[in-house]
Structure 1
């Protein structure tokens, strides 16, 4: 990593949920999330950082442990990150990030309980730089973001003008642009030498249907697709040869084992015996997975 201006060097690589995942088109992302809390609850850290490759968390650091540690399958990977050096780096960045939170609170003239979050990352597609982002939020509201085209820090609320002036006075703009467009993609490529097996895998979904009758009048059929990766998936219902329109569906966050779950509801009369079929389309499947409800379940 090259030397950068003092303030922003301390923020790089630890700040970003994340860039879209599309390994089928050779797209990969590196992103980081910062969270700082001015008055954390008892026993909770005041600062946390999580790193992501695509949607997979691979790094965690917090102010209580003061240790950067690998997550998930990266616990078994040797050589990708020097964790001792990374821990020291994150401790330094923690100090700068929390000072920024105090600065922002000062701009608002408020000493209460406040939260500052940072999101940072880049994406490459077909091994070439594609896009990047760097954005902060204060108490859940967008605060400031970096625009690589201008380039400049863009205030997203009036008080953020103070931060823009401070950072740009420190000479951060060109170094930030260089990092986002050159150094971050370079680091991502180095991580991919160790990480492609985890990011390119195809875990096929399993599927099941449950039935629930409400007040004896209506029936809800729920089709659930589980344990699949990557995330993009399509579920739809049919009755005979006709597609049944539905409006209620959802996706669950990525699980501890690194897979997803998705579901879609179909509502009908309680006496309706179907049959209805749920179709599941996923990149891991040569043909759609079909499960059928025939009124006996």
Structure 2
């Protein structure tokens, strides 16, 4: 079944132009399989990303690959019937692997999770990276080393998987070819339809508020929201000098394909210095500084 998948990856890859805008882009497949899914939930789900944006979805219940977000409205980017066929084949391999692992541990009725992440990266239109790794119940299971090339077991049960997947040497080289050739070609093809989405620049809106803590200190909160791409720098400054914040800094999705980030700082009641939140983002022509209004 493994070679069938790799052959499908080869034959379903469209002929695509080779010219794209300079920059770094990734195509990532994330699979999650459940041995005992809850009622009404599929046992296998896949979400495919272009950079950090969900591109399409597949699950074992519908048996269909369906575009997400702005790609719902783009014609010609993908033959979705063919992609559904490919993912259906992937589903059968995934189920077989999960069952093999459970059999190895003599736990055919347990509740277990098999996850997989695979994909590639191009930088300035040149293939610049690839990855293929699985985890079982949250622990590393097996990964593909394309330099050797070989499957590297990271779990005792993975030795059986390695043996099955490397039954013929040609299958290993097909996996390498997919990561280094077919996957980047697919990604470059998607970029012909998607650069305007992935290269969008949404500047951040910023709000600065405060509240009293139990210790009567003021907790300053700076929130940047509605920005894209997700890379952002948030700092509190005191009289122009950067301060080490107590909490925050994580970047989280805020819907509509944008992100938000929050940074908090504790200030003593007697501290009369000027505090500001400094925001740096690629969509801003220059860093944005928003002062804390003590009257707020």
Provide TM-score, normalisation by structure 1.
0.90
**Structure 1 stretches of at least 4 aligned residues deviating more than 4 Å after TM superposition:** 7-12
Closer/same/farther in 2, CA of residues 265 and 250 from structure 1, 3 Å limit: same
* Of 130-139 and 59-68, the range deviating more from structure 2: 59-68
Tell me how far 1:255 sits from its aligned partner. Answer: 3.4
Tell me what 2:123 maps to: 125
**Structure-2 separation of matches of 1:252 and 1:243:** 19
Tell me what 2:15 maps to: none
**Structure-2 separation of matches of 1:143 and 1:163:** 10
Tell me what 1:47 maps to: 44
| Alignment equivalent of 1:101, drawn from 91, 98, 109 | 98
Aligned length: 285
Tell me how far 1:182 sits from its aligned partner. Answer: 0.7
Q: Does 1:31 align with 2:28?
A: yes
Unaligned runs of 5+ residues in structure 2 are: 11-19
C-alpha contact 1:143 1:157 (8 A) present in aligned 2: yes
Deviations 1:191-238 (A, max 9, x none): 000000000010000001121211252221110100101111111111
Provide TM-score, normalisation by structure 2.
0.91
C-alpha contact 1:274 1:293 (8 A) present in aligned 2: no
Tell me how far 1:25 sits from its aligned partner. Answer: 6.5
Q: Provide the secondary structure at the position in 1 that maps to 2:253.
A: coil
Tell me what 2:295 maps to: 296
Q: Provide the secondary structure at the position in 2 that maps to 1:169.
A: coil
Q: Does 1:199 align with 2:198?
A: yes
C-alpha contact 1:272 1:295 (8 A) present in aligned 2: no
- After TM superposition, the structure 1 = structure 2 runs for residues 1-297 of structure 1, keeping only pairs within 5 Å, are 5-6=3-4, 8=6, 26-111=23-108, 112-171=110-169, 172-297=171-296
**Structure-2 separation of matches of 1:143 and 1:200:** 35
Tell me how far 1:110 sits from its aligned partner. Answer: 1.0
Deviations 1:158-199 (A, max 9, x none): 221111111011442111111100110011000000000000
Tell me what 2:14 maps to: none
RMSD of aligned C-alpha atoms? 2.1
Q: Provide the secondary structure at the position in 2 that maps to 1:187.
A: helix
Tell me how far 1:87 sits from its aligned partner. Answer: 1.7
Q: Provide the secondary structure at the position in 2 that maps to 1:253.
A: strand
Unaligned runs of 5+ residues in structure 1 are: 13-22
**Structure-2 separation of matches of 1:55 and 1:189:** 16
Q: Provide the secondary structure at the position in 2 that maps to 1:223.
A: strand
